[in-house]
Structure 1
């Protein structure tokens, strides 16, 4: 019985987005339900308005600052945003080389040094959108200072473990004090304790009720140091496990954090940005909730308000986090606002800022053709291509991902990349020392080769065939890079012009593909890909003599017979094609 398997057309393969797993299923309704339970406990402890006539929780417009708030210079330990992690906790000096962005490991180390920024200019605060959650949840999120000395009437019994923790009890008493200097001591002690790596400590402090005490200090605008210490403690709590982040939200922490984004003091505003990033870095539902509360326009304003390196690093990392999880729960105007906010950071002097901005663009380009067009409307395609020649391998890898995402779109999008000159640097990267860069470059090239015959010819003229054959022949090359190279060759076989197929056959590609299959027979999908590609090339080529010279009849028969005996229809179809067309055998 003769089989005629289907021919595999050239295929573009968008990346599948990796979504951070959550230990606890999070949804917005669950957040709101828990907030209602908290509101029952805090109903009698609402805070005053910040100024007469100003709604509670609304971001008021600050007047220009007349005196600077003194801050130490950044000489001690501080962690820059981790380019690969969705959450960040301070540890490393800002001048330290950025960590490997390929390592998706959340750094749980924390230090006791605050985020200190330079003085910045003041600006107007953003008002929440009408009808948005930020209007509805502010009122239940804060406590009145006079009520802090007594627990809520319906509070649960205090656990013995908490009562026996004398240090914790001292901190709680200090935070309940009517003296702001005493509250500052308590807030500082709290943030030092919750900055430790032990999650049990954070759990215990949350159960003891420290969150509402810290959140109540957010409204002391006349005492920014007290705001800063309490905000820093909240930031590190939100950097913990999923339930820690949720506890901050359940306690009504988001409105106060969003309000402090518009603080007149730069270090307070930037600490609020860090807190936002730790919340949105928890999972997609958290991110969508914060976006719904109106964070995007506020962050966009901060891009132009604060120009210090510290500010650029934290804001670019946070904007990138907004686009990290898929699907992105944003309106188009919010997505575009994020892209435009990231755009100036692409040219930043600081390498970490450039990489984080590029990561945000990469996340945004990993989507539909419409989303890819939003990225291209920035008119930064030449910038993305220039990343491929960067001395910073992190930027090279991200640049290759951006280009790969763009060419995963339709032929018109791919043509823009081809015309902009992306093929030569991508081909050069196929021999890069870094495996991750070779893999991303090969994936991008495979999507270009899934385009038109003219686009395939452009890649052939740039020497892509020799590089692909080198990858398959290299015994030390990884299977991931080899698989991407196999996709490239398959797309050439199925979409190239006749002259391109002849060039491919003359170069001995069929033999190389069969040899590579022989070494990877366990990979059934790869086997199918290579066999169908070989059959298509043999069917179309006119270079029969060259093909006959490169193929050994006995070895080819032995290899394909093993697959035929296993019932592989593609192997049978290929062998019949080789026998009849190359060796003139029936």
Structure 2
């Protein structure tokens, strides 16, 4: 386990022990350590940058020209692109743009080195030649679709203010191409995004949404809004978010799949930017629209909708309760049984943040009859889903009442937890041991023997005993505490093992402190 993972796990385990952590902080820490990992592993759902190839819907009547034109010498094209003859100039820019639209290895660096960027930007101002503006904006779009250095070259050529100016063009194709180019620029990072916001990108975008524009154009506008909402490390300003939220809410009314996907991801990104941002989004009244999308037939829409509400419940108990008040749990029987593994994983992750809340929120999960599905995943699913299910159950054993803990015991949670003690994942072992320890500590004396027998009969005791020699000190400490407290007479070697542990690891000689909530947190 690397240092960052160990630190995150230590924080979570310490939270279980109530070491100065309230439940809302527990939920937040859980989210930070888990979402980061998930984001690294999943493929990017929405493209940050988009190249416009020559065969796109924006018609190009000359695209059937002899392919040899695409290999024209750039030096000659650079000379002709500066011609005073409008026809010669246009044909040169058009040819360079076609080269930049090649599907494989377009000559972006060569075009930059030949100083075409200043020409493209200059020709954006030639209002009397809208075809030249269109070709120049298209060329800049494809250059900005490259790597960060190539995108920065477009920004350094001062293209952004002139592209923004084109949003006022009377020609729709010029406006749309400018939107596309701007989307590629702001998708590169928060610096260019904030520059575009400062130059006034938001209001022209909103006007396009209000106009009767083709759906392909509206898709591009929506995609630019997604790029505005990215960059969690430096989120969009609260004021800017408040400007665009009504537009996003409006776009969620569309039936077009691409528009719905991008609009929902925009909200998911915003809702991943902390409690204050979560509250701003909730205040916009968009929550019911997000929740309805959980039942959409298109998995590419369900995924960001589930991520969005999942991010909300990483917030405060009050924000979480608002989601529950909108009846979200009614969607979860279907989500927990979804054919896509990633949907099931996110659904269990969502529930793990609910069970990290207060006892009323825990009861809501129980009342929705979702615990049996969680235990099913604990027993039968892939490791990544099992791990989320362990978090869900372990959170419940911390946040729930004794009665709620006894309910999950009655649903046969003990044996699946014990079975997971043979996994190699150290973090999962710690969570499982913590859940079992909490169950044992919270079980009434009259029922304790039944739980102990269940652990023994399913082979859990053997697994716990084996973990007493685990190289991770928190795992062997936890397993030792469980054995010492609840199974003191199950092994003739207990006294010897206890002595060895006390000598080798200096755990101290007071076993009674092992379950004390005021004990010092384990250190990874």
TM range (shorter): 0.7 to 0.9
Counterpart Cα distance in 1 of 2:210 and 2:234: 24
Q: Deviations over 1:3-23 (max 9, x none)?
A: xx96445531335469999xx
Q: Does 1:85 align with 2:47?
A: yes
Match of 2:260 among 354, 360, 370: 354
> In the alignment, is the contact (CA less than 8 A) between 1:432 and 1:438 conserved in 2?
yes
2:128 maps to 1:111:
no
Helix, strand or coil for the counterpart of 1:178?
A: coil
Is the Cα contact below 8 Å between 1:19 and 1:326 reproduced in 2? Answer: no
Q: What is the distance in 2 between the residues matched to 1:311 and 1:481?
A: 39
Is 1:453 paired with 2:359?
A: yes
Structure 1 position 580, deviation (Å) = 5.9
Compute the displacement of 1:383 (Å): 1.4
TM-score normalised by L of structure 1 = 0.72
The structure carrying a bigger helix percent of its residues is 2
Instruction: Map residues 141-540 of structure 1 onto 2, 5 A cutoff.
Output: 166-199=72-105, 201-474=107-380, 477-518=381-422, 520=423, 522-540=424-442
**Aligned partners of 1:408 and 1:277: how far apart in 2?**
29
Q: How many matched pairs?
A: 451
Provide the residue aligned with 1:562 in structure 2.
466
CA contact 1:506–1:546 (8 Å) conserved in 2:
no
Give, in whole Å, the separation in 1 of the partners of 2:178 and 2:325: 43
Contiguous gaps of at least 5 residues in structure 2: 1-12, 61-70, 496-524
Change (3 A) 1:14 1:236: same
Post-superposition CA distance 1:296-347 (Å, at most 9, x none): 2332222213432112200111101111112345331111112222221111
The equivalent residue for 1:572 is 480
Residues 106-162 of structure 1: CA distance to partner in whole angstroms, max 9, x if unpaired? xxxx33446369xxxxxxxxxxxxxxxxxxxxxxxxxxxxxxxxxxxxxxxxxxxxx
Between stretches 425-434 and 496-505, larger displacement belongs to: 425-434
Residue 33 of structure 1 corresponds to which residue in structure 2? none
Whole-angstrom CA distance in 2 between matches of 1:313 and 1:210: 29
Report if the CA contact (8 A) 1:508-1:550 is conserved.
no
Q: Distance in 2 between matches of 1:356 and 1:256?
A: 26
Distance 1:17 1:548 in 2: 37
**Structure 1 residue matching 2:108: 3-state secondary structure:** helix
State the Cα distance separating 1:445 from its structure 2 match.
1.0
CA distance in 2, matches of 1:235, 1:488: 45
CA contact (8 A) 1:175 1:187 kept: yes
Contact 2:332 2:370 in 1 (8 A): no
Does the Cα contact within 8 Å between 1:17 and 1:326 map onto a contact in 2? Answer: no
The structural deviation recorded for 1:277 is 0.7
TM superposition score normalised by structure 2: 0.81
Distance 1:531 1:174 in 2: 74
Asked whether the equivalents of residues 284 and 326 of structure 1 are also in contact (C-alpha less than 8 Å), the reply is no
Is the Cα contact below 8 Å between 1:218 and 1:231 reproduced in 2?
A: yes
Which residue in 1 is equivalent to 2:31?
A: 14
Task: Tell me: higher relative CO, structure 1 or 2? Use CA pairs within 8 A at least 6 residues apart.
Answer: 1
Q: CA deviation at 1:515?
A: 0.6
Tell me the CA shift for residue 367 of structure 1: 1.6
**Equivalent pair of 2:455/2:461 in contact (CA under 8 Å):** no
CA contact (8 A) 1:429 1:438 kept: yes
| Distance in 1, Cα, partners of 2:111 & 2:481 | 68
Unpaired runs of 5+ residues, structure 1, are 22-81, 91-109, 118-164
Matched-pair contact (CA < 8 Å) for 1:274–1:314? yes
Whole-Å separation in 2 of the counterparts to 1:374 and 1:18: 26
CA distance in 1, matches of 2:458, 2:421: 17
CA distance in 1, matches of 2:484, 2:368: 34
2: CA distance between counterparts of 1:433 and 1:498?
Answer: 34
